[in-house]
Amino acid sequence: MKKILVYLIVTFCFMLKAFAQDDLLNDLVKDDAAKVKKNIATATFKSTRIINMQSVEMTGKGNLEFMISHRFGSVWKDGKGWGNVAQLFGLNAGAANTYMSFDYSFTNWMNVGFAATGNSKYETWTKFKLLRQQSGAKNIPITVSLFSSASFDGTEGPSPNDFAWNRFSFINQLLVARKFNENFSLQLTPSYIHYNYVPYGINNTNNIFSLGIGGRYKITHKTAISFEYSRQLNGYKNLLDETASAVNYVPDLFSLGYDWDTGGHIFQFFFTSSSAATNIAQLTTNTNEVRLGNFSLGFNLNRSYGIKRVVKTQ
């Protein structure tokens, strides 16, 4: 009888311990579930460019992105007739602009870049991520990045007035984007461009402002449609240069593209109303009106390389 009683007491103690452990585990699970987790929006755009304009995205920490961007001649020029067909709608017209760039990220919130932009021109930049769209522990409805770039014109020029400092121009952009759902993202891009030198005549200005909007709509896991529109706000009409020659620019810039993620590369095929290679030229000296024949075919090819291995820590 005593043995049976001891056995029952021991069994009862083990049962109490098991129940206590189970209650403790349940409490831990409840505590973990009660914690508000941080949900950060990712892949607002697939590339560091929407089409022409910078996007809020940047390469991952320790990654180097190489991009080739190519723009051909106008699809259809007035008065050329069947000559446009012979030129393969601008693809074989002998007029093209190539842009080659490198982006590298030292951290998750800053990257630097360098580009050869054609015609002996170069540019370098920095991009900072100021805010990241997220919900949960913090509710931030938008992603905000700051982009700042300097461009240098290395073409041979007249002397002695051809000072090196006159060859610089600058662009500063505030990139404000929101990923509304898994398929649709939108970005607003106000820009400020400064030229150290312009041929002063009438209504010329060193400082030009523009406002742009761009978006991306995902069709499948690998493909998407992208678009851009920007409006130059000043410095584009009733201009006379220092020789009294009339200069007129078109303030509107429109682009429509198709994005294809192959897994190793990101291809962007697009139509754009400017054949210029750089954002500075596109936003300040565009001469093509937004109409069908004035569009140019182009593509961006992006490839990212892991330069520095990043070890994630909890």
**Distance, CA of 244 to CA of 52 (rounded, Å):** 32
Query: pLDDT value at position 8?
Result: 41
Query: pLDDT value at position 20?
Result: 45
Low-confidence ranges of the chain (pLDDT < 70): 1-36, 76-84, 86-95, 157-161, 309-314
Token pair for 298: 């182009």
Q: Which domain holds residue 205?
A: 38-154+164-306
Query: pLDDT value at position 25?
Result: 45
Query: pLDDT value at position 183?
Result: 95
- Contact present, 303 and 86 (Cβ < 8 Å): no
Query: pLDDT value at position 290?
Result: 84
Query: What number of residues does the chain have?
Result: 314
**Assigned domain for 135 exists:** yes
**Assigned domain for 99 exists:** yes
Query: pLDDT value at position 87?
Result: 59
- Report pLDDT digits (tens) over 268-282: 999 999 888 899 999
**Assigned domain for 107 exists:** yes
Q: Is the pTM of this model over 0.85?
A: no
**Distance, CA of 27 to CA of 89 (rounded, Å):** 69
Query: pLDDT value at position 158?
Result: 58
**Distance, CA of 121 to CA of 100 (rounded, Å):** 11
DSSP state for residue 294 in the 8-state scheme = G
**Assigned domain for 313 exists:** no
**Assigned domain for 159 exists:** no
**Assigned domain for 17 exists:** no
**Assigned domain for 11 exists:** no
Provide the CATH number for the domain around residue 97: 2.40.160.40
Query: pLDDT value at position 12?
Result: 41
- Cα separation values, 37 from 27, 33, 139, 251, 308, Å: 18, 9, 11, 45, 29
**Assigned domain for 143 exists:** yes
**For the chain, how many structural domains are there in total?**
1
